Structure 1
């Protein structure tokens, strides 16, 4: 791709050596995500960072094309996702997340949590069995 085509992708800048860089702004400060061989790889790095920041309107590729990626990122804090993007392990970790083995393990974990909740007699969405009593704060009744 030629340098002029980089304008198609947000957060992607051409490098003099023919590679492509990706950066995103966090709190109005640029955060360098790395240098990539193709413009598409750089655009994906930018999108993954923005997906974690919940800037869905800033994505190069629509988020609804990858709903599982939102679930994957919800398992990690922002710093960990950025670290995976920078050191190149994001794609590998996401690929494992999408394997049948990992999906089965997550489902078993969820089923085990539901069974523990039911066997302990917990009820409700949050598992709280006690009744909520309103409190007074600054002479105003809350709850």
Structure 2
């Protein structure tokens, strides 16, 4: 079978060369021969593949694929939690900036930590945070001595 396949490959190469000749010399009679040799090569290569395939091993691998796929499912819960907290931090920062409050918002383990630039903004910050934070705890720190 290997010899037949090599002979068919040689015929295929010769047919390819003949096909290139056909491109540059369109009025010749090689098209039927080229097609026949290509079909012969495809059939012999297919037979070789079917004969040489390990069907038992292939079937075993196909049966074990769903079980193997379930083993490698990554856990995204921590990433999801962290991403949600980062988005919440950005939303609090944006809400305070939209209210015209100069501050630094940091994400702490227990909630948000808001450090004020102006000590007089404490009441406004408490009102904004009470409106947007819901159940999330926050801590307001009076920061710099800016008026």
Normalising by structure 1, we get a TM-score of 0.23
Identify, as 1 or 2, the structure richer in helix: 2
Normalising by structure 2, we get a TM-score of 0.22
User: Which of structures 1 and 2 has the bigger CA Rg?
Assistant: 2
**RCO (CA 8 Å, sep 6+): is it higher in 1 or 2?**
2
